[in-house]
Every structure is written in structure tokens, then in C-alpha cells.
Chains A and B, each alone.
Chain A
Amino acid sequence: MRQGLTGRLMGLVLGLSFAVAPAGADEPPARVVSMNLCTDQLAMLVAAPGQLHSVSYLAGDPRGSAMAEEALGYEINRGLAEEIYLMEPDLVIAGSFSTRATVAMLQRLGIPVAVFEPAYSLDEVRDRLARMGAVLGREEAAEGLIADYDRRLEALKAETGHRPSAALYYANGYTSGDRTLAGQILVAAGFENAAVAAGISSGGILPLEVLALLEPDALITGRRYPGASRSEEILDHPVVRALREERANGAITDRDWVCGTPFVLRAIEALGPLRDEIAAD
């Protein structure tokens, strides 16, 4: 303990002069803390038993995490610098949207932090897996996961003739274009993203009246959170209802859609029946 503290202090001094170094180059990190929902899941998939010490509290929430049950086996952190520092990790993995102040403070304290960008496409899921393998010193495990991912994705992409149009619609009228992970899930499942016709390529607000005029074949809405909000009221708007009623099957985006992990394959798979149903009409 004493030594650990001295080491930390040394690290603090060294950390000022050294740039952000992801895990030590020679030896794989033995005590890793992840503080972002998506890196949590990637780390749980790739890490060796006992290597990952803690994941974020969001990883245990089944509404947003595809690995909520697995997350129960780890310590939970809330992304606070103090709390993470006391866990004495030799590597912290953060998302690029994690609190900057926290990441900067951990770096000042000499703890190596690997920052992961979110995946915006199905291809980037491979990159993230590979990078996770690299920072954890688990390249082989990552390669196995990537090979499996590629194989399953190829099988799912089996060519489809006609592409029905679908729009993603979330609270506040937000939608995802084709340059987003959700948009790519849609395309991989054999749909055409209707938001693209409205000129939205990344994420953005799709006004209700524009949505109505687009008349997508399917409307895939965000899942509801408990409690009530005005933001989600838009999903009850008569126009949205009318669009959904034409297709009885109201698909929703769920936890498999959130992060760039192999679980996106489940999301693609789940859209299959909806696509077939529309194609049959």
C-alpha cells in the first residue's frame, strides 16, 4: 500500500513530463478500470479473466447495456476521478465523451488512460475490438472476436433485392442518418434510411412534417424510458401513430443499438422479420 502510494506519487511527477501512454508496452495491464458504457462492453468481451477490475454503473443497466448481467461480476464506478484513483488501476479506459476533467485529472495523477472514440460504422466495430485487444495485451482474443463478427455480418448481409425505406425516430424528433452506427444497422438489415432523403447524414432533428411527407415504409422508434417527458410525447403524436399503424410491427431501437460492439449483429438480425413482412406486402 505504502509502496503503491509512492509509486503513484512518482507517477504523478512522471506523468507531467510523459505524454498519455496507453498500457505499458511490455506487460499487459493487470488491473483495468473502464468508465464508459461502450468501452465497458468491449473490455468485458476482450479482457482476460481477472484483468478487468471495474466497469461503469451504466454497464449494469439493462436498458442501455447489452451485457448487464456480466457487469454484475465487476466493481461499479461512477466515473469520478477520486473513486477511480483509489481503485489503483494500471490502465483506465475512457470514451472520448467521458468527462474531460476526470480524464485530465487521472492523467495528471500519472494513470495511463486509453481514450476510445465511439464507433460510427460497422467497420469501426472491428477497429475498436482490435484496439481493445491491443491496449489489454489480448490481441488473440480480439482477433477471434473480429473473425467471428466478420463471419456473422457477412451471413446477415446476404443480398436483398428491394430495400424498403425506414426512418429512425427518437425523442425530440431526433433521427440518425447513414453515417451513424444506427443508420448502418438499418442499411445492413436491408433497409434504406429515409432520413438520407431529407438531407440528414449524421444525427439531427427530422421535423415531424418532413417525416410525414417522407412516408417511410417502417418507423423504428427509440425505446421508452420510465417516467414521463415532453420529449418522448412526440412518439405519441397522431402523425407518428398514423405512420406506425400502417405497419403494425413497431420496432424499437434497444441496447443492442447503443454501442459499437458485436451486439449490433443482434440488432440487424432482429430487423429481419420486419423487412420480410414489408417485402411480402
Chain B
Amino acid sequence: MARLAIGLSVVVLTLFLAALTLGPAPIGPGESLRALVVGDAGPLSLVMREIRLPRALLAIMVGASLGLAGAAMQGYLRNPLADPGLIGVSGSAALGAVLAIQTGIAATVPLGLPFMALAGALVGVGLVLTLAGPRGSSLTLILAGIAISALAGALTSLVLNLSPNPFAANEIVFWMMGSLADRSMVHVALALPLMLLGGLMLASLGRGLNALTLGEDAAEAMGIGLMRLRLVLVFGTAAVVGAATAVAGVVGFVGLVVPHILRGFVGARPGALLWASALGGAAMVLAADIAVRVVLPDRDLKLGVLTALVGAPLFLHLIYRTRREMA
């Protein structure tokens, strides 16, 4: 277990350094890191501190949030298909964020943007859990997710199309596919408080989720309050997914792929899978964000395109396996 933790941390750290040294401006790696740490009030420090550092930090934060949320949802629902993107939570968070931006709440209320995204995500999680039920089958879960995603996506497009701003309608693709281009420390500060709060809430669920693998009755017998667990899960997920979506748009499949890969390494214990998935998610989004900059540097390729290219085949594989199990 410790080996996994160290291994994942090394991967995240390596990718973080790579993300800091790669970019459209030709700056040597040594030079760039020195400008980041020392600072000379010149343009180099500006580039490192205001452009690359926030982008790399956001990749870690967004990835960790999505990985953690995926692992927690999957542990609670005991269903490997529960990814915040797939079940419509991210989509509803995006709707909340778009409403905040277009109504001006984001510009006038401090932290208005992430809180509106949180509200959207809450509605999404709430609807999914209500529709699918606490022990919902994969089928109802995915169907509920599709319906909520479709509705949230349509409403997001509607709001953006109604905006008086001529650029807004083109941003539908950003909200659907996610991107970290041109973010700043402002966005780090926007997302961090809710991510920390939600992350701590989800991290506290480890014992409960472990107990839940034995069944609900057994878990209650072990002193786990299911009602409370459910509430903490809903709020925690909505907080981290809301904050992540508010600054980066919808980045799908991270919460599906990462827990799936890491489940074997932690002996299928949902509690341990939580922190492992947070680290793994950070690594995945960092890698994806490096890839979008290396593959098509001047095209602003969306993050969600890459994560979907990896995630969708896995999703198909999981559906296939679920079908066999159900048969």
C-alpha cells in the first residue's frame, strides 16, 4: 500500500514538473523552474507564476477531485459505472456555473461561481440518487444519468445561446469537453475552498464505504449511519465536482477510469481506493493537459476529448461485463 502511495506521488510530481516546463513559449526547463522559484519581476516569472503554475495546480486539483468523487460514488453505489460525468453530476454543475456567469452572479458575489456550480451538482446528484435508488441497478443509474446529462446539456446550450455575448454560444464546447487553457491563480482561489471542504468530507467516508461492502445491514450493525453517509457523500461529491467544473468545464471519464485501474492495487477496498483515486486522477488530468499542449499546441484541444478517448472504450468494456453479469 505504501508502495502504491509513493509510486503514485512520484508520477504526479514528475508530471507536475513536466507540465511546468512545457508550453508554447520556448523556455528551457532549468530556466523556467528558476524563474518560478526565484522571481525577477521579468516576463519569465510572469509566465511561470501566472500562466503555467496555476494551470498545473488546477490540473492536479481537478483530477484529484474527479478521481475522488468517482471512487466515492462507486463505493457507495457498489457500481463501477458511477462516474460523476456519466451520471450527469458534472453536466448539472456546468449548468450552474453557466447560469452564474450569465446572470452576473459570478462577477458580483465572491465565490458565486463555484457555489452555483455546487448547487447545480447537488441537484444532479440528488436526482440521480432519487431516480436510481440507493441500490440502483447499473441500468437505472446509467439511464438516469443520460437523462440528466441530456437535460443539463440542453439547458446549458440554451443559456449560452440566449446570451447577448457573441462568443458565449461558441463556448458550449468548452462546457461540454473542458479545458484548462488560460486559467489563472484567480481560478485556483475560486476552486480551492470548496474542493478542500468536499475532499475532506469524501475522505472521511473510507470506513463507512469499507463496511458497506458487507451489505447495508452489516454496515449498520457496525455502527455506520447510512443516512449520514449518504448526506456527506452527496455534499462532498457536489462540492468537489462543482468546483472542478466551474473552472475547467466538464472533464469526463476520470472518475471512471482511475478507480477501475487502481481497484486491483488496493485489494478492492473502497476506503483505500479514495486517496489512491485522488492521486491517480491528478496524474491522469495532468497527463491529459500535457498531451493537449504537445499534440496540438495552437488549437486549444479540449481536455475532455483525450479523457473520453481513453475512458469511452473502458466504459464500453464495463457495460459489456455488466451485461454478462446480469445475464
Interface residues of A (CB under 8 A from B): 171-173, 204-205, 207-210, 212-213, 215, 225-234, 237-239, 242
Answer whether A237 and B165 are a contact pair too, CB < 8 Å, given A212-B47, A213-B25, A230-B174: no
Chain B residues with CB below 8 A from A215, complex form: 43
Q: Are A209 and B107 in contact (CB under 8 A)?
A: no
* A226 to B164 alpha-carbon distance, docked (Å): 6
Nearest chain B CB to A51 CB, angstrom units: 31
* A208 to B298 alpha-carbon distance, docked (Å): 11
Among candidates B27, B52, B164, B185, residue contacting A225 with C-beta atoms closer than 8 Å: B164
Residue of B nearest to A232 (CB): B167
Chain B residues with CB below 8 A from A232, complex form: 165, 167
* A228 to B164 alpha-carbon distance, docked (Å): 8
User: Which residues 32-66 of B have a CB within 8 angstroms of A?
Assistant: 43-44, 46-47, 50-52
Nearest chain A CB to B10 CB, angstrom units: 27
Q: Are A239 and B165 in contact (CB under 8 A)?
A: no
Q: Are A207 and B43 in contact (CB under 8 A)?
A: no
* A173 to B102 alpha-carbon distance, docked (Å): 21
Chain A residues with CB below 8 A from B174, complex form: 230
> Residue B170 at the A interface, CB < 8 A?
yes
Q: Are B25 and A209 in contact (CB under 8 A)?
A: yes
Answer whether A239 and B166 are a contact pair too, CB < 8 Å, given A173-B182, A209-B25, A230-B174: no
Interface pairs (25), CB distance under 8 Å: A173-B182, A204-B298, A207-B23, A207-B24, A207-B297, A209-B24, A210-B24, A212-B25, A212-B46, A225-B167, A226-B165, A227-B102, A228-B106, A229-B101, A229-B168, A229-B171, A231-B167, A231-B170, A231-B171, A232-B165, A233-B182, A237-B50, A239-B184, A242-B46, A242-B50
* A225 to B168 alpha-carbon distance, docked (Å): 10
Q: Please report whether the interface of chain A is mostly helix, strand, loop or mixed according to DSSP.
A: helix
Among candidates A229, A233, A238, residue contacting B163 with C-beta atoms closer than 8 Å: A229
* A215 to B106 alpha-carbon distance, docked (Å): 31
* A260 to B46 alpha-carbon distance, docked (Å): 37
Q: Are B44 and A213 in contact (CB under 8 A)?
A: yes
Chain A residues with CB below 8 A from B106, complex form: 228
Chain A residues with CB below 8 A from B298, complex form: 204-205, 207
What is the total of A-B residue contacts with beta carbons within 8 Å?
86
> Residue B186 at the A interface, CB < 8 A?
yes
Chain B residues with CB below 8 A from A208, complex form: 51, 182
Chain A residues with CB below 8 A from B23, complex form: 207, 209
* A172 to B179 alpha-carbon distance, docked (Å): 12
Among candidates A213, A225, A233, residue contacting B43 with C-beta atoms closer than 8 Å: A213
Chain A residues with CB below 8 A from B52, complex form: 209
Answer whether A225 and B166 are a contact pair too, CB < 8 Å, given A230-B174, A238-B50: yes
Q: Are B184 and A238 in contact (CB under 8 A)?
A: yes
Q: Are A237 and B182 in contact (CB under 8 A)?
A: yes
Answer whether A228 and B104 are a contact pair too, CB < 8 Å, given A212-B51, A213-B43, A239-B46: yes
Q: Are B184 and A237 in contact (CB under 8 A)?
A: yes
> Residue B216 at the A interface, CB < 8 A?
no
Residue of A nearest to B168 (CB): A229
Q: Find the residue from B44, B52, B166, B185 having the highest chain A CB count within 10 A.
A: B166
Chain A residues with CB below 8 A from B299, complex form: 205
Among all A-B residue pairs, the 9 with the closest Cβ atoms: A227-B165, A231-B167, A207-B24, A229-B167, A209-B25, A227-B164, A209-B47, A229-B165, A227-B163
> Residue B300 at the A interface, CB < 8 A?
yes
Chain B residues with CB below 8 A from A204, complex form: 298
Q: Are B300 and A205 in contact (CB under 8 A)?
A: yes
* A234 to B171 alpha-carbon distance, docked (Å): 13
Nearest chain A CB to B171 CB, angstrom units: 5
Residue of B nearest to A173 (CB): B182
Q: Find the residue from B47, B186, B297, B299 having the highest chain A CB count within 10 A.
A: B47
Nearest chain A CB to B97 CB, angstrom units: 10
* A225 to B169 alpha-carbon distance, docked (Å): 13
* A30 to B43 alpha-carbon distance, docked (Å): 59
Residue of A nearest to B25 (CB): A209
* A232 to B166 alpha-carbon distance, docked (Å): 10
Q: Are B171 and A213 in contact (CB under 8 A)?
A: no
Q: Are A209 and B51 in contact (CB under 8 A)?
A: yes
Q: Find the residue from B43, B52, B164, B185 having the highest chain A CB count within 10 A.
A: B43
